[in-house]
Amino acid sequence: MNRYCLLILFALCSSHVLSAQDKEVSPTSGESYHLFVEGFDWGAAFSRVLVKTDKVQKSFQKDDFVIRAHSSTDCSQEKGGDLQGERHIIFAYPSDENGKRVNSSEWVTLVMEVGPDLQISKATKYYYNDQCKGTVWIDYALSITQKSTLRTWNREERRFHPELDKFDLSGSFSYGKGEKMRYASFTPQTDNKKSPLIIWLHGGGEGGYDPSIALMGNKATHYASDEIQHHFDGAYVLVPQCPGAWMDNEEGIVTMGKEEDVYHKPLLALIKDFVDHHEGIDRKRIYLGGCSNGGYMTLKLMLQDPDYFAAGFVSSSAYFSKYISDEGVKSIKKKPIWFAHSKDDNTTKADETAIPLYHRLKEAGAKNVYLSLFDHVIDISGSYGGEAYHYNGHLSWIYVHENECRLDIDGKPVKWKGKPTSMMPWLAAQSN
């Protein structure tokens, strides 16, 4: 599941600029630049570019530069699927060669406009066709021209991934007959003898053998951020990547829980192996969460081994409630679980997944189970229209990553020990 695609119409900008901007972007000539890839609620984007000028300055004028971009993949079935266009520069500042602002420098960092509907800014894209099935990195090239000097930079030398670079992307777990599952991990810098473990399971669109996709496809890198980490006083983060989709059966067809999947056993083995090899993990505080396909697998693993996990957090669940037996519901009724879903999710409908399961758990006697049910998934950053901007309703994990789940299904604040709470501090308080 998680096979969604926001349909975007992109109009190439046209404005009167230096004629040098109309030159084809070439990766083999000109001077070099450094490029930043950063994660946003809606995905990853090429957000900043750094170039070295020939003069130390205390300030730079953004209008003195023109940036032309060329974006392409091998996945598009559309004729002329490549995008070329001008990148709008919103700010320029003197920096060191790593993009850190300084008082004066010959290096300048150009901050570019990004957005969920600005296709030319995106670093990843979701496809589902004969060529590609899932999220892929975009091939990207820039040509930057300084109007005052006519200098051009059009060769990428270095790429920065500030959030991604916190993770070890080399994890690999072997299972079956020569099969492997990749994973990314984060180790907290803490003096604590034991720290909890947060496990995030990606959606169906982020499968494969490149954990960076599982992390950047929907901002799972945020679990290593200071904002999230402080709730746990430092936590390990594990992000396994499924070779296909977590709900795949033996024929590679996704199931909503009706049939047995082929990945829950090796995934559980991977998790336990990771814990066994990291003595600093508090085995009483292992938290399991995921979105869509990953929401399905979160529930699947909790049903398989309910005593292993301290709590679950599930967004846009893809597990049909009708395929979970009454015995299964009873087996997890004492487990802390917090669901998040949007009413306008047409990919995994709340009326078939989260809502009926929530009520069944409550009827079975669950005391520590919640469901944050949103009308829409809005722009919580306020950068693209705020409440007026509606994402695809399937993207309720945006609220989870940003710790914006606070209300139960009845619209009242969730309380922990008598005080209103949000999902992350609640999660950090759970223990076996």
* Per-residue pLDDT tens listing for the chain (432 residues): 443 333 332 232 233 223 333 344 444 468 999 999 999 999 999 999 999 999 999 999 999 999 999 999 988 766 556 899 999 999 999 999 999 999 999 999 999 999 999 999 999 999 888 888 899 999 999 999 999 999 999 999 999 999 999 999 999 999 998 999 999 999 999 999 999 999 999 999 999 999 999 999 999 999 999 999 999 999 999 999 999 999 999 988 888 899 999 999 999 999 999 999 999 999 999 999 999 999 999 999 999 999 999 999 999 999 999 999 999 999 999 999 999 999 999 999 999 999 999 999 999 999 999 999 999 999 999 999 999 999 999 999 999 999 999 999 999 999 999 999 999 999 999 999
256: which DSSP letter?
S
pTM: 0.91
Q: Are 246 and 201 in contact (CB under 8 A)?
A: yes
Q: Are 310 and 431 in contact (CB under 8 A)?
A: yes
What is the Cα–Cα distance from 419 to 424, expressed in whole angstroms? 14
Q: Are 203 and 5 in contact (CB under 8 A)?
A: no
Q: How much is the CA Rg of the chain, to the nearest whole Å? A: 23
Q: Which residue has the tokens 């972007």?
A: 25
164: which DSSP letter?
G
208: left (phi over 0), alpha (psi -120 to 50) or beta: left
